[in-house]
Amino acid sequence: MQARKLRIHLSTTYLLLVFAASTLAQVHPPASGMDTKRGSFSEFEVATIKPSGPTGHFGFRGLPTGKVDIGQQPLSMLVALALNVQQYQVVGGPDWASTDRYDLVAQPAVTDSTRLGPVAYTPDSSQQMALRKLLAERFRLRFHTEKRLAPVYFLTRGIGPLAMEPAKDRTRPEAASIMDKGDKIDGEAFGLNTTIANLAQEIGGLMDRPVIDQTGIMGSYDFHLLPFDTSNTDMNTAIFKDMERLGLKLKPGKGLVETVVIDSASRRTPN
């Protein structure tokens, strides 16, 4: 599953994040496509989409100033990133939408120093909006959303204390993941400035069904879990155990799931 591979691959490189310089540059007035709200924009000024070659990076990188760099992803994953859902929540469309892979690089019109910060691995709201417009233009993408009853996991409060601390830096992008170490998934996990809702979304990307937050826990948190079993190779085992160690619990059930239905799309050629 590509959503799973995307998040696993990126989570293991977290410690290699390069932080942008802290010195603020001059902020220019918003140009066309740039909202006046702090650091937000509604479209990309320059964008390239081309079929992936045999080499190149895999995954999504949200760079300072709003630029995005996506490598070797099918249209179904591009739609998932743009709509803030998991890839298994995207259905319909032509067969090639889940098999053809693309590289996408896009930059908004204005370099805005208010966006300087760590590299992010999930699009923010401005990038999502701009991605939706770009996909509609380049792929002639048409879609609709609907709620469908499907298997889910409910994330609830557990028995023990909450093993998280209030976030030390609430300005950095949210990050949370179970660490994958090649053929070992030993249960090491981290969270930085993450909400429980974001944690639910992240682990939902590693499982076969969405995770719905029913904890009622508000705020953002940091946590770091040390490995619990260096021989474990099963992601689901690690996730269930780690949620218990955090003071949470996963319960299987059925619920209404936001589903993105691709109505039509045109195949993309190199530009």
Domain locations along the chain: 2-141, 147-257
Q: What is the mean pLDDT of residues 70-93?
A: 93
Q: pLDDT tens digits, residue range 138-181? A: 999 999 999 999 999 999 999 889 999 999 999 888 888 899 88
Q: What is the mean pLDDT of residues 182-205?
A: 92
Give the pLDDT confidence score for residue 211 in this predicted structure. Answer: 94
Give the pLDDT confidence score for residue 112 in this predicted structure. Answer: 53
For residue 118, pLDDT over 90 is answered with: no
Choice between 206 and 26, residue whose per-residue pLDDT is larger: 206
Q: pLDDT tens digits, residue range 236-271? A: 999 999 999 999 999 999 999 999 999 999 997 655
Q: How confident is the model at residue 50 (pLDDT cuts 50, 70, 90)?
A: very high
Tracing tokens 């140009």 back to the chain, one arrives at: 31
Give the pLDDT confidence score for residue 121 in this predicted structure. Answer: 62
Q: How confident is the model at residue 96 (pLDDT cuts 50, 70, 90)?
A: very high
Choice between 224 and 18, residue whose per-residue pLDDT is larger: 224
Q: What is the mean pLDDT of residues 67-77?
A: 93
Q: How confident is the model at residue 120 (pLDDT cuts 50, 70, 90)?
A: low
Gap between the Cα atoms of 107 and 214, Å rounded: 37
Q: Do residues 213 and 197 lie in contact, with contact meaning Cβ atoms separated by under 8 Å?
A: yes
Q: What is the mean pLDDT of residues 173-198?
A: 91
For residue 195, pLDDT over 90 is answered with: yes
Q: How confident is the model at residue 54 (pLDDT cuts 50, 70, 90)?
A: confident
Residue 137 identity (one-letter amino acid): E
Pick from 140, 56, 142, 143: nearest CA to 105: 56
What does pTM read for this prediction? 0.68
For residue 20, pLDDT over 60 is answered with: no
Q: What is the mean pLDDT of residues 200-228?
A: 94
